[in-house]
Structure 1
Amino acid sequence: MFDFFKKKKDPVEESGKLEMNKEMFLSTMKVITDYTQRDVIKIELSNDECSIFDSKFGGLPYLGVDDEVPLSTDNKQLRLLGQINFADLPMNSYQLEAGLLQFWAMDNDLYGLDFENMISQAESRVIYYSSIDKTVSESQILNKYHPEGEGYFPIVDNFKLHFIGGEEGISIGDYHFDGLFTQEWNNLYPNNLISSYYDLPDEILYEDEFNEFSGFGHKMFGYPAFTQEDPRSSEKYDDYILLLQIDSVGIGDKEIMWGDSGICNFFITKKDLENKNFSKVLYNWDCY
């Protein structure tokens, strides 16, 4: 007699013990990373002295003569996370050649993150200067810049930024990754079907080779990394790409620390990036 109520097994259960090894994993990753290549600008830190006009994480921000420090919705000064002088960037497909882009956040236990509306910029801000006034002095800015802090801020010191252009394929944290990996694996190994890349054994998933595809590190563009999950899995953020990523990596005793060894991402739509419209940037950070 047929058992019409028998639970349907997934591919892994149906096929019993599958053959899964590192070479199969790397072969699948090569296919995926080859066709998902995207421009990336890797960021390296140094302890070099940096001015108010330089690209940096932390430190004293640039402010025009008539500009004020951005405020939260309750009128508290935000603190500078970092600023990118586009003149420092290598040639890139996003045509970022002139101006200064700043990233600000509140110094509180959530670093200004708005879980309910991640593009609200209620306690964070992304500000673009199309031109830079080189007559501004540090003393002028020090007279205006007095952010109130609760001692939580992830960047205490300042770091000068150096940029390296290149390309990279999709990272394991990107919310498109699981579907792409599963599809490509099943194409390559039809006798070893999987339902998700999580079906692979831990000894494959967590080997050093896997870290190559993690997406971690400081960078602009490319593919993001997360310790939790990609906020763009929500349909309303589907067209957002990575703008800037700040990892929990400093230099020696000069730390950058997002909670418990976390990571920060800023995302933007390609259209807004082309129009230099940074009013709807998605701000996210997470940690272990």
Structure 2
Amino acid sequence: MLRGNGAPAPYGKDVNAFWNRWRKQLAQVSVPSRSAAGQSGLSPMLLDDLRQTLQPVARDCAAISLAGAATSPIQSFLSGHPFLPPGAVWPEGIGGPQLFLGQLNFAEVGALSDFPAAGLLQWFVDADENWGLTVDASAGSAGFTVRWYPDPVADGSPSPDAPTPTDAHDELPMEFVGATALEFAPGISIPSWDELTPAVRADSVWERIALALGESRSEPAFVYEEYLRGSASPLADHRATSKIGGFPSFTQHDPRGTGGYPAVDTGLSELIIELDSMDVGGWGDSGVAHLFGDPMALAAGDTSGVRYHWDCL
């Protein structure tokens, strides 16, 4: 949801947390049944044809899932206290100390083409009603901080459950509090229907899938987005929502190429990380948050090109 001035509406308080939990519980009931229906309606041969059609446009990614309490200051986790080596200070925003969203230790992620094999990325946002996101010419380039540690060493850093200078329970865009560890699994990410090449959109496989699922053959875009992207996909390895790498998903529109976001075809707006409310809760009404940039620039310690975005219904 956007406010009248175009900025995302303020969320994360008690009322919205209740509705996000309700939506998440509803999704856990409805999505598996829809996915099961899709699997029962698609023959192994049709699934093979689908994989072959998608293979030229698919990208590898690392699917993210929550994995209990974090115990090490240099592991991957959300919320809590970040890795902060001796001499490092907490980042400040316009309104004071920024909120710590999370950190990624790429040594835990596994091999991912064009991404660093090691190093720690941290993500902070301003503690305001829009979690730092701006809507003017600075959109994407202000209101947040990313830090890169090429060789983090746990000695001397506070633990993940140490106190922070911000009240995360009231302010974080995610529903949970406390340092929550992340796990990663290999996944496959596919673009939105509009991003597919004309040749892929014209493939007969979409008509055959629509027929098998009892949907209109004249609406391949609906079938593609409803059944094949995200958690409802009959292809288990294509179900990545929260992820590192791959193609982003948006609740409203792709901001790249506008404001402070480089265009998609420049190589400077690749998806670094996506956090989907279906996995981590919060982010407004079924929202999703992103960091974009050049992943390999991170390995060189250059975070200047990283851009931040989030939106919701």
TM-score > 0.5 by shorter chain: yes
- C-alpha separation between the residues in 1 aligned to 2:288 and 2:126? 16
Counterpart contact for 2:274–2:289, Cα < 8 Å: yes
Q: 2:69 aligns with which of 48, 59, 64?
A: 48
Q: Calculate the TM-score normalised by the size of structure 1.
A: 0.72
Letter in 1 for 2:201: W
The residue number in structure 2 matching 1:193 is none
- C-alpha separation between the residues in 2 aligned to 1:217 and 1:103? 19
- Structure 1 residue 274 displacement after superposition: 4.9
Percent identity, aligned pairs only? 27
The residue number in structure 1 matching 2:290 is 265
- C-alpha separation between the residues in 2 aligned to 1:219 and 1:203? 23
- C-alpha separation between the residues in 1 aligned to 2:191 and 2:298? 22
The residue number in structure 2 matching 1:146 is 165
- Structure 1 residue 283 displacement after superposition: 0.7
Q: How many residues align?
A: 248
- C-alpha separation between the residues in 2 aligned to 1:169 and 1:107? 31
215 and 76 in structure 1: CA distance in 2 versus 1, 3 angstrom threshold: farther
Counterpart contact for 1:76–1:148, Cα < 8 Å: no
> Do residues 200 (structure 1) and 219 (structure 2) align?
yes
- C-alpha separation between the residues in 2 aligned to 1:67 and 1:225? 34
Of 262-271 and 207-216, deviating more is 207-216
Higher helix fraction (1 or 2): 2
Q: 1:223 aligns with which of 221, 231, 247?
A: 247
Higher-Rg member (1/2): 1
Once the two structures are superposed, the pairs formed by residues 137-286 of structure 1 within 5 Å of their partners are 137-138=157-158, 142=162, 145-147=164-166, 151-155=170-174, 156-157=176-177, 158-166=179-187, 168-172=188-192, 177-178=193-194, 180=196, 182-186=198-202, 188=204, 200=219, 204=223, 207-209=226-228, 211-212=232-233, 217-234=241-258, 236-238=262-264, 239=267, 240-250=269-279, 256-270=281-295, 272-286=297-311
Counterpart contact for 2:274–2:288, Cα < 8 Å: yes
Counterpart contact for 2:115–2:295, Cα < 8 Å: no
Post-superposition Cα deviations, 1:90-109, rounded to whole Å, max 9, x if no partner, equal 12323523321101112222
Post-superposition Cα deviations, 1:232-264, rounded to whole Å, max 9, x if no partner, equal 2548322311100111135xxxx6210012111
> Do residues 125 (structure 1) and 145 (structure 2) align?
yes
201 and 41 in structure 1: CA distance in 2 versus 1, 3 angstrom threshold: closer
Q: Calculate the TM-score normalised by the size of structure 2.
A: 0.67
- Structure 1 residue 179 displacement after superposition: 5.2
Post-superposition Cα deviations, 1:67-116, rounded to whole Å, max 9, x if no partner, equal 111111x2611111110112212123235233211011122221111222
169 and 34 in structure 1: CA distance in 2 versus 1, 3 angstrom threshold: farther
Once the two structures are superposed, the pairs formed by residues 89-128 of structure 1 within 5 Å of their partners are 89-94=109-114, 96-116=116-136, 117-120=138-141, 122-128=142-148
- C-alpha separation between the residues in 2 aligned to 1:31 and 1:224? 21
Counterpart contact for 1:29–1:181, Cα < 8 Å: no
Unpaired segments of 5 or more residues in structure 1? 1-21, 190-197
- Structure 1 residue 181 displacement after superposition: 5.1
3-state DSSP of counterpart to 1:231: coil
Counterpart contact for 2:66–2:180, Cα < 8 Å: yes
Letter in 1 for 2:173: P
- C-alpha separation between the residues in 2 aligned to 1:247 and 1:260? 11
- C-alpha separation between the residues in 1 aligned to 2:81 and 2:228? 39
244 and 56 in structure 1: CA distance in 2 versus 1, 3 angstrom threshold: same
The residue number in structure 2 matching 1:135 is 155
Letter in 2 for 1:65: P
Post-superposition Cα deviations, 1:111-157, rounded to whole Å, max 9, x if no partner, equal 1112222332x3211110122232214279957x4126693421341
3-state DSSP of counterpart to 1:236: coil
Letter in 2 for 1:261: S
3-state DSSP of counterpart to 1:243: strand
Unpaired segments of 5 or more residues in structure 2? 1-41, 206-216
Counterpart contact for 2:241–2:275, Cα < 8 Å: yes
- Extract structure 1 runs of 4+ deviating beyond 6 A: 25-28
188 and 100 in structure 1: CA distance in 2 versus 1, 3 angstrom threshold: same
- C-alpha separation between the residues in 2 aligned to 1:92 and 1:287? 28
Letter in 2 for 1:208: Y
The residue number in structure 2 matching 1:34 is 55
Q: 1:59 aligns with which of 80, 102, 114?
A: 80
